[in-house]
Chains A and B, each alone.
Chain A
Amino acid sequence: MSDTEVKISGNVVAGVDVGSLAAKSVVIVDGKVAGYGLIPSGFNSEETGKSVLQHALNSAGIPREAVKYIVATGYGRISADYANKTVTEISCHARGANFLYPSVRTIIDIGGQDCKAIRLDSSGNVVDFAMNDKCAAGTGRFLEVMSNVFKVKLEDLGDLALSADSLVPMSSTCTVFVESETISLIARGEKPANIQAGIHHAIANRISGLFSRVGIESDVFFSGGVAKNKGMRKSIQEVLKVNIVEPTFDPQLTGALGAAAIAWKNAVREGVCQEQQPALQK
């Protein structure tokens, strides 16, 4: 990922994405990804932001002073005095996905507290988007609740769902409904894998509701922490009847990457960084 040759040019920018569960940062040097960091979010989002930025800089071997422009995004962006500019995670996810895969026109993002459906154009500009309402059904937090109910590690939930031999129909209206339904199903002796498959399907249904509003166009990219859950990928592909591009870069970093890409654009526009010849953007 990092390229030691280009680090010294001094054209360094960074994106910082402080989310509800995790903080992410990506460092770009001369238009290319040079390093990244990923840590759990702390109580103080300002400190969390600075800390994850330092992680990313350390991974690239770049001193803090070298950074010319920082864009902050995510929930923590409202307290980010270290940043030159703040941009919403919606615009950042679009830019980040576009940076990696210019053919992407639709993004599904499932974060800790919300999920988003984003449509973008070939330049990575958001054309339309929708977010879930305040209910937790269809979010990373919900899967966390379920992992507690099943006493399974969060990262193993998807594999559990994949091993199902049938799908238990579940409400998709409300987390509380699903939680108590789950408990009664366990009491009845239903297979945990089948219940999990039902839950994943219910979440996918909630998310598909967002796409009815914004439409869906290939290629489709799945970003955010939950994108690592294979069961969720499968359920979404089934419900939305689309193919999701295989990620080659940690999908949880997409927002931070987009923030860094916006930082790069602004830094070049404001003249603090110089675009290299030929353009190095991937």
Chain B
Amino acid sequence: MSRTATSVTKVTVLEKIRQAVIDRPAQIAAAKKQGQKVVGWLNYFVPEELLLALDVIPVRVGVGGDEQLVDIGGRYISTKNCVFVRAAVGLLGEKKDPYTPLLDLLAVDASCLQVFRLAEVVKYYFKYETLILGVPRSFTAPEGQAYFRHELQDFTAALEKFSGRKLEQAKLKAAIELLAKIRESLQYLYQYQSQDYANLNWRDVFEIVHAGFYLDRAEYLKLLQELIAELKELPEDKSKIPGTEPRVFISGSQLSPGDVKLINIIEDLGGKIVGDDLWTGLASYLDIQIAAPTVDALADGYLARVPHAALPYLNISTDSRIKKLKELLGRFRAQAVIDHTLRYCDPYTFKAGETKDILNNEGFPFLEIHTEYASSDIEAIRTRVEAFLELVRTRNDVAGGI
């Protein structure tokens, strides 16, 4: 099988980022010796701004694609939970990866409630210290917003106690600025990869996003800026002929680091991925506007962005998640959508049908891929993706159709 993991032109900063990821666990271990604390976090609403301002090291926890971790996790949580949740329990229980042994605290917000259960389970069985951040399901109601401000204040107080530091406004301001620049850079890279003749493809950018789960955030920003400077200097990659590959957008819940089954299949079959709205991809970095260096402003900013699908929204015509999805399809010139959901991930699975209806009406073919980490369905997924790409090729007359 061919892999298009790296682009044709050697982008040197991409190699530097990869090396930095390899070096990162040792770096964190050294920082811990100097007394710094490490907070692993899960879900969608934990503001890294707070962690950085309190000088703790944030690590975004969770890997995908590892069936063995799923089996281990399933012994503690249930086989009716999605594989990401089961694998995360397995990961946190096994502690065989480079990061989990370094964690001093696990911070979890309650957007996805299965992840909240995960926190309960690992606290009991593996003795993690955990901190829960409540998230309002009535997130557009004023009382929901007030609740979230209180929750984040409480969360901050707990983090202050944990870190032994007081939150300083200047530090919070600096952290807000740093993360805003990271988000801006990542959005630039997403836009860049979707262009013809780009020297990076979506997969590279997705990998770069995941590097940001672990790297020192200031160092990460430097690397992103260096990378952008390099890309601006590099000659266009004229080895690719535009218009020969169907342009596919991946929508849905999440693909965590290591979950490459679907990505490999799409690329092997000649599809070009041009964007995503995954919460392990672009979605986490979109539209966070923090108006002031205060905890309340953080709360407001996080709550107002594109909602996680686990937060119910009862009026489809004003659902900003769907609106954002349509906007991204246009921005990345997508021709079709592959919707990825994990088995037992109810919020995304239940919404797949209506999302399909809406996007079909907008003229986008839509393929639902509902899967787990096991390799047993690779051939079945290949057939679906292959037939879908045949459909897109025929429909858009990409390279003559079938």
List residues of chain A with CB under 8 Å of any chain B CB: 75, 87-91, 113-114, 125-131, 133-134, 212-213, 262, 269
B368 in complex: contacting residue of A87, A91, A127, A130, CB < 8 Å: A130
- Comparing B250-258, B274-282, B387-395, the segment that makes contact with chain A is B387-395
Is B365 touching A128 in the complex (CB atoms < 8 A)? yes
B123 contacts partner chain A, Cβ-Cβ < 8 Å: no
- Chain B 363-402 residues near chain A, CB threshold 8 A: 365-366, 368, 370, 376-377, 379-380, 383-384, 386-388, 390-391, 394-395, 400-402
Contact across chains for B387 and A129 when beta carbons are under 8 A apart = yes
CB distance from A97 to the nearest CB of B (A): 15
Given contacts A89-B383, A131-B380, A131-B384, contact A126 B391 (CB under 8 A): yes
Whether A133 touches B356, Cβ cut-off 8 Å, given contacts A91-B390, A262-B402, is: no
Assess A126 versus B370: contact at CB under 8 Å? Given A213-B356, A262-B402.
Answer: no
CB-CB under 8 A from A87, the residues of chain B are 390, 402
B240 to chain A minimum Cβ distance, whole angstroms, is 23
Q: In the complex, which residues of chain B have a beta carbon less than 8 angstroms from the beta carbon of A125?
A: 391, 394-395, 401
Known: A90-B387, A114-B380. Contact between A212 and B353, CB under 8 A?
A: yes
B residues 157-210 near A (Cβ < 8 Å) are none
Cβ of B375 to closest chain A Cβ, rounded Å:
11
Main secondary structure, interface of A, reads mixed
- A213 and B391 form a contact (CB under 8 A): no
Which of B365, B388, B402 gathers the greatest number of chain A CB atoms within 10 Å? B402
A89-B387, A133-B343 are known; give 7 further A-B pairs, CB within 8 A. A88-B390, A90-B383, A90-B387, A114-B380, A128-B391, A131-B380, A269-B400
Q: Contact: B383 with A88, CB < 8 Å?
A: yes
Q: Can you report 5 residue pairs joining A to B where beta carbons are below 8 Å apart?
A: A89-B387, A91-B387, A125-B401, A129-B387, A134-B376
Q: Do B387 and A88 touch (CB < 8 A)?
A: yes
B: interface residue count bin: 20 to 34
With A and B bound together, what is the CA distance between A129 and B387 in angstroms?
Answer: 9
Q: Nearest B residue to A120 by beta-carbon distance? A: B391
- The A/B interface has a contact count, at CB < 8 Å, of 52
Q: Does B27 contact A (CB under 8 A)?
A: no
Contacts of B356 in A (CB 8 A): 213
Residues of A within 8 A of B401 (CB): 125
B-to-A contact residues, CB < 8 Å: 343, 353, 356, 360, 365-366, 368, 370, 376-377, 379-380, 383-384, 386-388, 390-391, 394-395, 400-402
Contacts of A262 in B (CB 8 A): 402
Determine which of B368, B387, B400 lies in contact with A213 in the assembled complex, contact meaning CB atoms within 8 Å. Answer: B368
Complex Cα spacing A66 to B387, Å: 29
Residue with the highest number of chain B CB atoms closer than 10 Å, among A88, A90, A131, A212: A88
Whole-angstrom distance between the alpha carbons of A262 and B391 in the complex? 14
- On chain B, the residues within 8 Å of A75 by CB distance are 379
Interface-centre pick from A114, A129, A212 (highest chain B CB count, 10 A): A129
Q: Which residues of A contact B377 (CB under 8 A)?
A: 133-134
**Chain B proximity of A123: nearest CB distance (Å):** 9
With a 10 A CB-CB cut-off, give which of B368, B384, B391 has the most chain A CB atoms.
B391
* Complex interface: chain B residues within 8 A of A213 (CB): 353, 356, 368
Q: Kindly name the residue among A114, A134, A269 whose own CB sees the greatest number of chain B CB atoms within 10 A.
A: A134
Measured in the bound complex, the distance between the Cα atoms of B395 and A114 in whole Å is: 25
In the complex, chain B residues whose CB is within 8 Å of the CB of A114? 380
Chain B residues with CB below 8 A from A131, complex form: 380, 383-384
- Collect the chain A residues with CB atoms within 8 Å of residue B391's CB: 91, 125-129
Give bound CA distance, A114 to B384, whole Å. Answer: 11
**Measured between alpha carbons, how far is A131 from B353 in the docked complex, in Å?**
14
- Whole-angstrom CA separation of A33 from B353 in the bound complex: 39
